[in-house]
Amino acid sequence: MDLVMDRLRSAATVAFAANDREIAARAIADTLAVAAAGYCMPSVRRVSEHHAVLASPLAVSWDGIGRRSVDDAVFVNSMAAHALDFDDVDIYSSAHLSCIVVPVLLAENMPQDEEALLDAILTATVAAGMLADWLGPDHYRRGWHATSTIGTIAATVSLARYRRLSPRHLTNAVAIAASQMSGLQGNFGSDAKAMHAGFAALAARRAVDMAALGLTGNPEILTSESFCNNYGPTEEGLAAIAPPSLADRQLTKFYPCCFAIHRGIAAVLEARRIMGDAIVNDDVRFILTFPAASHVVLLSDMPVNGTQAAFSAPYCCAAALRDGTLDIGHLTKGFGEPRLFDLARRFNVSANETSSGTRLHDGYVTLDVTSAGGKSLSIVQDIMPGSAADPTFNTAFRAKTTNCLLRYAETFDRDFPALAQADLHPRIRAYLL
């Protein structure tokens, strides 16, 4: 019996507590909000228009537009949720799970029991942690995008649980999904990254559909030579399958950029608080040092568009330093402002090759601020922003969802249609309205 597959099957039977389900409810609300803002992006609008059906649609996506199939609706919803890189992240697996799992589960044509829905969301997080342990950090170092590799399997286990597939059918679904794991970090900073989420969502749906029909896959695929040669698991990973608590893992993003940059933003905001307006004087320079595991996914050159800007530490940190935050406007209509680029060029960004840890959240970020008179300030930022334990979290979360929904309303002159869904549960709706 394949031990990895056995652990994934066990993820589909985990019993969750009420406070765990609150994490899942918040994840659904966050995903809907960032998708609303994501639907305003030109790339998503082109895909939305391409798949639009005016007469006799078989499905309707969250923007209220008819689609030729449920798959079309799921794809565009997932792409919209990931388009701004503003969706929450499971730091343990380095994967954006909600942008895949939420569209997949909300598309199910069945009465949605709130508890079953929230448990399925959490199942994806548990499964992702197990698979991340098996694959180990080498998986990310090989250039795979964990959102669309680990996320594909996690969403498959989640959907299999929601549909109450038998252990045998779940095993076949995971095996079928394993042949669809893909997504390359080389596409970060392009429209393809958001499409990774859509492809992963469709892969999970296909895998569960085919397994439910009785189609089979290799039950030992996850430990097979072909899998291991490509995805990087180790024997040490097999022994380490024991993820931390859910509360320590699911972090909300309050800046629309790569999560690897968020500690850098926190550091420059602290420097801004300490030094005040003088921090943007012409003679001030900034040295940002990221852990090697975080630095590897960042762009080294100045961005040429807003999509690339989300992976540029100098640009994102300069925007936050000058304006007190990084918001969607910096990456859309406000992108390209010469003075902001001038400030960004004063940042020197490098990797700390000796920093401990191999995952995105390991190690720490340092910021050294220097002026003509010498070194002025040094800050070490080790805590990842976005924890629900932060006293300011609820206020910040409400502001984020409100701003995302307002962006949709201002762009399309109407409220986000997904909010009017009759089956949107009160616990989820409370985070949005």
State pLDDT tens for residues 324-372. 999 999 999 999 999 999 999 999 999 887 765 666 677 889 999 998 8
Please give the Cα distance from 334 to 309 (Å, whole number).
11
| CA–CA distances in Å: residue 89 to residues 112, 183, 260, 342, 408 | 24, 17, 11, 31, 22
* Burial 131-153, CB ≥16 within 10 A → b, else e: bbbbbbbebbeeebbbbbbbbbb
Please give the Cα distance from 365 to 290 (Å, whole number).
5
Answer yes or no: are the C-beta atoms of 256 and 326 closer than 8 Å: yes
Please give the Cα distance from 347 to 285 (Å, whole number).
6
The domains found in the chain, sorted by start residue, are 3-254+394-429 (1.10.4100.10), 259-381 (3.30.1330.120)
More confident residue, 305 or 424: 305
Please give the Cα distance from 63 to 77 (Å, whole number).
8
More confident residue, 411 or 237: 411
CA atoms within 13 A on the CB side of 366: 13
In the chain, count of helices (H) and strands (E)?
A: 20, 8
- pLDDT of the residue at 376: 84
- pLDDT of the residue at 1: 47
Strand partners, 378: 368
What is the overall mean pLDDT for the chain? 91
DSSP letter assigned to residue 52? B
Contacts of 399 (CB under 8 A, 6+ apart): none
**What is the per-residue pLDDT across 369-398, written as a single tens digit (0 to 9) for each?**
998 877 689 999 988 899 888 889 999 999
Please give the Cα distance from 117 to 159 (Å, whole number).
10
Residue 246 pLDDT grade (very low, low, confident, very high; cuts 50, 70, 90): confident
Angle at which helix 191-212 crosses helix 98-106, to 10 degrees, equals: 50
Query: Radius of gyration over alpha carbons of the chain, in Å?
Result: 21
Q: Is the pLDDT of residue 242 over 80?
A: no
Phi, psi of 379 (to 5 degrees): -130, 135
Question: In the numeric block, which tokens belong to residue 195?
Answer: 């499409």
| Mean pLDDT value across residues 132-153 | 90
In the chain, what's the furthest Cα-to-Cα distance? Answer: 72
Strand partners, 66: 60
Residue 86 pLDDT grade (very low, low, confident, very high; cuts 50, 70, 90): very high
With H, G, I as helix, E, B as strand and everything else as coil, classify residue 27.
helix
Please give the Cα distance from 129 to 225 (Å, whole number).
22
Please give the Cα distance from 404 to 408 (Å, whole number).
7
Answer yes or no: are the C-beta atoms of 351 and 289 closer than 8 Å: yes
Strand partners, 366: 289, 380
Answer yes or no: are the C-beta atoms of 21 and 119 closer than 8 Å: yes
| CA–CA distances in Å: residue 249 to residues 89, 281, 318, 387 | 8, 38, 28, 9
Please give the Cα distance from 289 to 258 (Å, whole number).
16
Answer yes or no: are the C-beta atoms of 170 and 157 closer than 8 Å: yes
Residue 250 pLDDT grade (very low, low, confident, very high; cuts 50, 70, 90): confident
Strand partners, 349: 288
- pLDDT of the residue at 109: 75
Secondary structure E strands in 64-173: 66-67, 89-90
- pLDDT of the residue at 234: 67
Please give the Cα distance from 138 to 202 (Å, whole number).
26
Q: Which residue has the tokens 């039977």?
A: 13
Answer yes or no: are the C-beta atoms of 294 and 346 closer than 8 Å: no
